[in-house]
Amino acid sequence: MNTILLYVVLLSSSGSDASLDQRVLELSRQLRCLVCQNESLADSQADLAVDLRREIRGQMIHGKSDDEIKTFLTARYGDFVLYRPPFKPETYVLWFAPALLVCGGFFALMRIIRTQPHSHCRRGL
């Protein structure tokens, strides 16, 4: 336990990179706290969240990219830990639906406009 505290103190009071902090923050905002009722890893105060943030920070210092860290976490906890659903067959519907809804809606609107009975001259005719 004491080694952890030392670690925290060292990391936070050392001249550690402000941009590293920012990077950890931005990545952990996209990840889910597994034990909470819907909070991000950045905001949660749960033990596991603190541990995972520390792990993320450590991996970033070792030069891992955001994607590599996400792979590390999903290998252990599954896709549930990602707040941005990965783009895979199971989520095609999720990712394509918004665009389809918009296009479909405009298509339907245009069709209805075109097939209206006109009681006056149309534009150009």
Partner 1 sequence: MPDVATIGNFSLITALIVAILQAALPLMGASQGKSTWMSAAVRLARCQFILVVIAFLSLAYCFAANDFSVLNVAQNSNSELPLNYRLAATWGSHEGSILLWILMLAFWSAAVSIFTRHLAKEVVARVLGVMGIVSVGFLIFMLVTSNPFTRLIPAPADGNDLNALLQDPGMVVHPPMLYMGYVGFSVAFAFAVAALLGNRLDASWARWSRPWTLIAWTFLTCGIALGSYWSYYVQGWGGWWFWDPVENASFMPWLAGTALIHSLVVTEKRGAFKAWTVLLAIAAFSLSLLGTFLVRSGVLISVHAFATDPKRGIVILCFLTLIIGGSLVLYAWRARQIRSGASFDAISRESLLLSNNVLLTAAAGSVLLGTVYPLIIDALNLGKLSVGPPYFNSVFVAIMSPAMFLMGIGPIAKWRKAEIPELVIRLRWALAISILAGIFIPFAVKWKPLVTLGLTLSFWIVATICFDLVSKLKSAQTKGIVQRLRTLPRNYYGMQLAHFGVAISIVGITLVTGYESQKDLLMRVGESTGVGGYVFQFQDLSGVEGPNYDAVRAGVDVFQNGKQILRMQPEVRSYHASGNELKNAAIAGGIFRDLYVTLGEPLEEGTAWTFRIQHKPFVGWIWAGAVFMALGGALACSDRRYKPAASSAARKAA
Partner 2 sequence: MKFAVPILIFVTLVIFLGFGLRRDPRLLPSPLIDRPAPAFQLMRLDEPNRPFSPTELRGTVWLLNTWASWCVSCRQEHPLLLALARSGVVPVYGLNYKDKRTDALEWLKSMGNPYILNVQDADGRVGMDYGVYGVPETYLIDKTGVIRFKQIGPLTLESIEKTILPLVRNLNS
Binding site for partner 2 (CB under 8 A): 1, 3-4, 34-35, 47-48, 51-52, 55, 74-78, 80
Tokens 């095609």 appear where? 92
Counted residue by residue, the chain has a size of 125
Contact (CB, 8 A) for 82 and 69 = no
Number of residues in contact with partner 1, rule: CB under 8 A? 47
As a whole number of angstroms, the distance between CA 82 and CA 78 comes to 8
3-state secondary structure of 119: coil
Minimum CB–partner distance for residue 79 and partner 2 (Å): 8
Q: Is 120 helix (H, G, I), strand (E, B) or coil?
A: coil
Using the minimum distance from each CB to partner 1, give the nearer residue, 61 or 110. 110
The answer to whether the CB of 34 falls within 8 A of the CB of 23 is no
Residue 82, helix vs strand vs coil = strand
Return the residue of 3, 15, 19, 37 that touches partner 1, per CB under 8 A. 37
Residue 39 sits in the site that holds partner 1 (CB under 8 A): yes
90 contact, one of partner 2, partner 1, none, CB 5-8 Å limit per kind: partner 1
Q: Which two tokens stand for residue 124?
A: 């150009």
Chain contacts with partner 1 (rule: CB under 8 A): 5, 8-9, 12-13, 21, 25, 29-30, 32, 36-40, 42-43, 45, 78-86, 90-91, 93-94, 97-98, 101-102, 105-106, 109-110, 113-114, 116-119, 122-123
